[in-house]
Structure 1
């Protein structure tokens, strides 16, 4: 399997190089040159597999012969050994709704599913091929802690995570800043997540800086993040369909950076019988507006009860544009130039028709988020995190849609308490967290300031 950039400036690179490159050197996002397609017989086989074995089968076509199968199996087994549920991503039914629980990893959020694997993969490739890696990423909440837990203490790796100061939950902040391993570096930037993400992209696009400081990416611009997230769509479908290739399943996906729902989109292109993909957004509704109108226009970033979704510019949207424009990289570049110059891009009526065939979308207010937490708890005793509540509310007209439960509710107990009058009991991974010592730098949301901080921290000779 070879990889190329959505913007056409990178072509025919291998899996390992794509993993280590993260963001394409032309500023685009890496995608496979082709996708495997699973027919009915293969889907029946995949439906019977436990999560780890399913992951190996789905990863194998994308890895090719670059990693021996025995090594790939070992990487996958080690990556999911620390999850607290034997199914890794179990289905749970509450109040007549199925929830796909993605929060049984070490940081109690869905990002663990991909980042535990990616951390081990980075370490494997660095030990095999030599070199070092300085991971740089921005987080709106859960990516940062999951990335940190994925690489903490690993050899040949440093990690620098930017989060918007005061705009992540207290538990999310403490999960990141209480990790005191020498290779972990947290930076609180004065601004929004989009400001932090812009700093990261600026530094990745500085090719001299990227080469000199061996930058790598763990957020959803890294292709492996998307690949790993396709697994739980296949897993959930298998548990519901019992291998019947005629059984189609819908999913409602709380969406900020578009990575999680894009993984579902790819799973469908690979042959998974997906009926509907519902994009669930909060007040920051740029993706909902795009599905409704074909216009993707920047706006103000609002602070909400579901902060991981407080995003205007969704990093993975560019990957979707690549497929929407029939894999025409010149057309993608033209659309992105409009976005850069005018703050918006628009697709024509024929493309909008395709968008609306690919997705449904709904924006959910904070008031409705709280109402959903309250109603679900009253009906079943099950507690939703606010992001999951957005997904459930957005699926109101799709009674059989599976809602992706993206985080444990105890990570957002301020919202939970407001909704039901008490906190959600914390899982073992969160107990005692707020009493731990922390370490974090605070900087302006400026690429130069972050670059200088990295230079000083790494003490790399010029």
Structure 2
């Protein structure tokens, strides 16, 4: 397995180099040169595997034997030993045709733990094996930051800096990041939106000289390992619902803002998993819904919502899908992305839009609809949804055919978003780990939306000691 850039200007590289490069040096995103195909008989064998066994089967298709078998199994075992449920991502049947896959049983109660526990351990492994410095730089709309910090805090040879939008994440999300007082962790609270944070991160990674000088490594889903790790739970959910049968397709409703989680489902489908429709759930920041319905990718006005982790206007992983949409034509992708940078929008042909609508359905969920869904499922199904998962369930109700089975991805524990839950007049009990955050001191630096100021902070942080 070799990896290439969506923009075609990077020589083919191996798995470890892909991990370390993060954002491709030409500004594109790294993807496998060919998507591996899983034959039908292998899928039937995989149906009875544990989550950890499935992870090994999927990861080993991409690692090029660069990680010895026992080492890879050890990385997987250590990464998922931190989860509170032995199934890692248990699947609950909520209605006749709708299951919820709970992705929030990791250390920070969010789906990002599934990829970032593994990526944190992988970075530590690579640092020791190659005797290389790992300086992690990332942006978060709330959950990635806490999961990334938890994945690498205290690890020798690794420093991590996370940017988050000041006062635009939930209180629990903020506390999970900023109550960490480890020397290798820096939290920068940026006076702006997540899109501002993400833009700065991508600009710094695109500055190849700066990236190499400070040994910058990506923790955001621009790093392909994030996508790869998330692909595993689509396999797990499918087998839990459909068993070994390949005659049945299963739809997935996916709350997403950066297009990473739903692209993982698209990748699983391209690998041979019988995924039906991928239903994209978003909120009022609905650039992705407009693209799927109209073929126009154009940011709108930023809106703060009850589901802040999806308060994103520019979706990083959209470029990966665009690459496959245009027939793996890197020159065409580069042209589209140059147009987006210059004009602020991408428009595709009716023919391509037809393909998009074969791959995806979409629904942008209003704030009232989100809260109504939380209240309804709590009252009628005795199941408490966090606001992001509620968007996924609302999209399922709008876009999933009544007689088809669907799995909605539950991306976070409701305790992380109590501000929204309280608006539904629901009182919840906090898990002990979250309740303990409330009395801890915070450690964060508030900065302007200024690349110059952030660079100065980074240079000081990465050169300490």
How does the TM-score come out when normalised to structure 2? 0.98
**Counterparts of 1:425 and 1:441, CA distance in 2:** 31
Task: Show the counterpart of 2:195.
Answer: 194
- SS in structure 2 at match of 1:432: helix
Could you tell me how far 1:95 is from its partner in structure 2?
4.2
**Counterparts of 1:26 and 1:457, CA distance in 2:** 26
Task: Show the counterpart of 2:460.
Answer: 456
Matching residue within 422, 426, 435 for 1:431: 435
**Counterparts of 1:75 and 1:457, CA distance in 2:** 28
**Counterparts of 1:95 and 1:378, CA distance in 2:** 13
**Counterparts of 2:278 and 2:431, CA distance in 1:** 30
Aligned 8 A contact 1:284 1:302 in 2: yes
Within 5 Å, which residues of 2 pair with 1:35-114? 35-96=35-96, 97-114=98-115
Task: Show the counterpart of 1:315.
Answer: 316
User: RMSD of aligned C-alpha atoms?
Assistant: 1.0
**Counterparts of 2:112 and 2:235, CA distance in 1:** 17
Could you tell me how far 1:460 is from its partner in structure 2?
6.2
Aligned 8 A contact 2:152 2:158 in 1: yes
**Counterparts of 1:429 and 1:224, CA distance in 2:** 27
Task: Show the counterpart of 1:407.
Answer: 412
Task: Show the counterpart of 1:23.
Answer: 23
**Which deviates more, 233-242 or 95-104?**
95-104
**Counterparts of 2:416 and 2:233, CA distance in 1:** 22
Q: What's the CA shift string for 1:51-99, capped at 9, x where partnerless? A: 0010000000100210000000000000000100000000012244310
1:360 maps to 2:361 = yes
Could you tell me how far 1:457 is from its partner in structure 2?
1.9
Aligned 8 A contact 1:91 1:98 in 2: yes
Within 5 Å, which residues of 2 pair with 1:41-440? 41-96=41-96, 97-397=98-398, 398=400, 399=402, 400-419=405-424, 421-440=425-444
**Counterparts of 1:118 and 1:112, CA distance in 2:** 9
Could you tell me how far 1:427 is from its partner in structure 2?
2.3
- SS in structure 2 at match of 1:395: helix
* Contiguous gaps of at least 5 residues in structure 1: none
Q: What's the CA shift string for 1:268-289, capped at 9, x where partnerless? A: 0000001110000100010000
**Counterparts of 1:376 and 1:23, CA distance in 2:** 40
- SS in structure 1 at match of 2:186: strand
- SS in structure 1 at match of 2:85: coil
* Contiguous gaps of at least 5 residues in structure 2: none
**Counterparts of 2:435 and 2:48, CA distance in 1:** 35
**Which deviates more, 391-400 or 303-312?**
391-400
Could you tell me how far 1:324 is from its partner in structure 2?
0.5
**Counterparts of 2:15 and 2:230, CA distance in 1:** 17
**Counterparts of 1:190 and 1:423, CA distance in 2:** 32
Count of matched residue positions in the alignment of Structure 1 and Structure 2:
460
**Which deviates more, 440-449 or 452-461?**
452-461
**Counterparts of 2:287 and 2:48, CA distance in 1:** 38
Q: What's the CA shift string for 1:115-170, capped at 9, x where partnerless? A: 00000000001100111111111100100000000100111110000000010000
**Counterparts of 1:94 and 1:205, CA distance in 2:** 44
**Counterparts of 2:452 and 2:47, CA distance in 1:** 49
Aligned 8 A contact 2:2 2:32 in 1: yes
Could you tell me how far 1:448 is from its partner in structure 2?
1.1
**Counterparts of 2:115 and 2:464, CA distance in 1:** 30
